Structure 1
Amino acid sequence: MAEKRFSIQDTDPLLLFGFNDAHLRTVEQAFPEASITARGTTVYVEGPEEVVEAVDAVFQELMVLLERNDALAEEDVKTVLALEQSNSDPAPTANTPDADVVLHTPDGEAIRPRTPNQAKLVESARTNDVVFAIGPAGTGKTYMAVAMAVAALKEHRVKKIVLARPAVEAGEQLGFLPGDFYEKIDPYLQPLYDALGDMMPHDTLAEYIETNRVEIVPLAYMRGRTMKSAFVILDEAQNATTGQMKMFLTRLGPNSRTIVTGDVTQTDLKDRRRSGLVQVQHILEGITGIDFIYLTPKDVVRHRLVRDIIAAYEKHEEG
């Protein structure tokens, strides 16, 4: 057994623990092996060493979120707990279906999960119609989602791919940008083009876009549509409002599935509480056929320095 105590001296206990200690009870329920006691500005944790360290990590992250946002919602607590659980889960073995190749690129490169949580994402997308992939930049969530969509199209499991992004930076200002419609939206959708360009020949991609087998559109332009036999991806979903998220999810028609990706800590919305990706974790929790996969900085698969950069910024934000 291990014991640990840490100070929350610079944090408002009422905001950290929640009204009537609601947040504290949520953490206690997630770690039944630990004894957690709060006395004034000190938190005492007792239990197995790995559990004590996990509880400490959860509270440290909650304090960072509270300092950053001046508030702490129940959804925040559940997200941090889910991320900590993802950190502690063992990796799948090479013989499991999670390690299967998702897609071969035109150059013959095999696209496959490169981290345990990417493997969870792939497996979940194979068994659920709606999957939310939540995690920081560089964890491959969008890239793996696009790979799953392209594989489904090549295998004739769907008839088209629809990729969408909220254009928060543009908002109502699209009309003030130079160029036609496609030139105006292109900067916000270019990352999706880039991922597709890695996975199919250029002429094939151009043909699919021309024939609408692949659509890349701003989220706002999906209102009123029904997606039938389609693989639909909503990227950067932290920038969708709750209303936009509901609109997007209710576009799904027969034989369609979707992956929603985003980072709940990096919304461009003025009020973070309006983020549909933050709210949806609570609203759709427990519905069969809907799954939430959480990726962490340990899943970063970009340049080796990206993980260090994320860690450095997190340390800076902690003060």
Structure 2
Amino acid sequence: MAKRSNVRRLRAEFDANEYFEDAGHSPDIDLLERKWDPANEQPKHRKKTSRHHNNNEEPTGHTHATREQRFVKNITPRSEGQAKFMEAIDRDNLVMALGPAGTGKTYLAIAKAVDALKAGRVGRIVLCRPAVDAGENIGFLPGDMEDKLAPYLRPLYDALSDRLPAKSLKSMMAEGLIEIAPVAFMRGRTLNNAFVVIDEAQNCTYMQIKMLLTRLGWNSSMVVTGDPAQSDLLPELSGLGPAAEKLENMDDISVIRLAKEDVVRHPLVAQMLTAL
């Protein structure tokens, strides 16, 4: 009898804890003050969810808040230049997009890369960005290589997180489906079956641009984005503009030049670009 009484007591305590988790009460205060008795609780006040529910029914209770957020966005061009840019990505294996800030170069390129990966047209995404300071040296950064490169690659993380849930993004990066690498570690690689995005290419020298472009492998696409007017290198060292001029007339290569009319940020951005 004593053993059976202990089982009943433990079962009552378990039901009490489950009620407090669902109803948001404090078990310590209520049990001490005897404001709640599990024997008097009616089933209608408790919300239980079955693990094997019908697919057409929505789960009830707090489980709805823990569902993973789904990003189902249809990316559409907001200017004529963006429309040409997106058409060129679908048509050619190498696309170079040159234009001022706020024209959506990086965002559209990464959005197309994520769409290609989801559709199975490529096996991975490789994002590359030069680790160049914007005219300000903040000294040595702590941590390992990934920690040191994180501030430079943050814009790429922001664009990816806007297209993928955080859990899926973390899983894809852990599995190698999405790789973010600096320019310094790209030499000698052959990127097959990949969608490659080279961002902020105006901060690459001519030899770096040449090295990056020749990484293109079979069944791969590459998008190079940058603004030659905002290079953190000396004007004669930036290689994006000269490389685009030499490749502009080649077949299967598109060079898209965006203008202030394609700016999709705050309207003041286009005005400031004109004034500055």
- TM-score, normalised with respect to structure 1: 0.62
Q: Pick closer, same or farther for the CA change 1:311–1:282 going to 2, 3 Å.
A: closer
Instruction: Tell me the distance in 2 between the aligned counterparts of 1:107 and 1:161.
Output: 18
Distance 1:258 1:106 in 2: 27
Residue 125 of structure 1 corresponds to 89
* Counterparts of 1:260 and 1:250, CA distance in 2: 12
| Structure 1 position 245, deviation (Å) | 0.5
Report SS of the residue matched to 2:208.
helix
Alpha-carbon deviation of 1:285?
A: 3.0
Supply the AA of the counterpart residue of 1:252: L
Aligned match of 1:223 = 187
Match of 2:100 in 1: 136
Q: Which residue is 2:254 aligned to?
A: 291
Of 227, 233, 241, which residue of structure 1 is paired with 2:205?
A: 241
Larger Rg computed on CA atoms: 2
The answer as to 2:275 corresponding to 1:312 is: yes
Who is 1:162 aligned against?
Answer: 126
How far 1:203 moved relative to its partner? 0.6
SS in 2 for 1:265: helix
Supply the AA of the counterpart residue of 1:190.
R
Letter of the aligned partner of 2:237 in structure 1? R
Given that residues 165 and 219 in structure 1 are in contact (C-alpha distance below 8 angstroms), is that contact kept between their aligned partners in structure 2? yes
Gaps of 5+ in 2: 1-68
**Aligned partner letter, 2:81:** N
- Aligned partners of 1:247, 1:297: CA distance in 2, in Å? 30
Q: What are the within-5 Å matches in structure 2 for residues 145-294 of structure 1? A: 145-169=109-133, 176-270=140-234, 272-294=235-257
Equivalent residues, number:
207
Give 1:174 shift. 10
Amino acid at match of 1:128: D
**Contact 1:132-1:259 within 8 A present in 2 as well:** yes
**Which residue of 1 is the match for residue 66 of structure 2?**
none
Give how far 1:221 is off.
1.1
Write the mapping of 1:16-95 to structure 2, written as runs, cut at 5 A. Answer: none
Taking a change above 3 Å as real, the CA distance of residues 113 and 170 of structure 1, as seen in their structure-2 partners, is: closer
Q: Summarize deviations over 1:130-163 as a string: whole Å, max 9, x none.
A: 0000000000011100111000000000000001
2:104–2:264 contact (8 Å) kept in structure 1:
yes
User: What's the RMSD between the two structures over aligned residues?
Assistant: 1.9
CA distance in 2, matches of 1:158, 1:300: 29
Instruction: Render the CA deviation track for 1:231-265: whole Å, top value 9, x for unaligned.
Output: 00000001100110111011111100100000011
Shift of 1:266: 1.0
Amino acid at match of 1:120: K
Between the aligned partners of 2:119 and 2:91, the Cα distance in structure 1 is 16
Q: Is the 8 A contact 2:70 2:165 kept in 1?
A: yes
Identity %: 51
Q: CA deviation at 1:309?
A: 2.4
Cα separation, 2, equivalents of 1:131 and 1:174: 34
Q: Which amino acid aligns with 2:153?
A: L
Partner in structure 2 of residue 115 of structure 1: 79
Give the letter aligned to residue 213 of structure 2.
L
After the TM superposition, which segments of 4 or more aligned residues of structure 1 sit over 4 Å from their partners?
none
**Cα distance in 2 between the residues matched to 1:238 and 1:161:** 21
Q: Is the 8 A contact 1:273 1:279 kept in 2?
A: no
Asked if the contact 2:71–2:164 (Cα under 8 Å) also holds between the matched residues in 1, the reply is: no
Alpha-carbon shift at residue 215 of structure 1 (Å): 0.6
Given that 2:173 and 2:179 are in contact with CA atoms closer than 8 Å, whether structure 1 keeps it comes out as yes
* Paired amino acid for 2:124: K
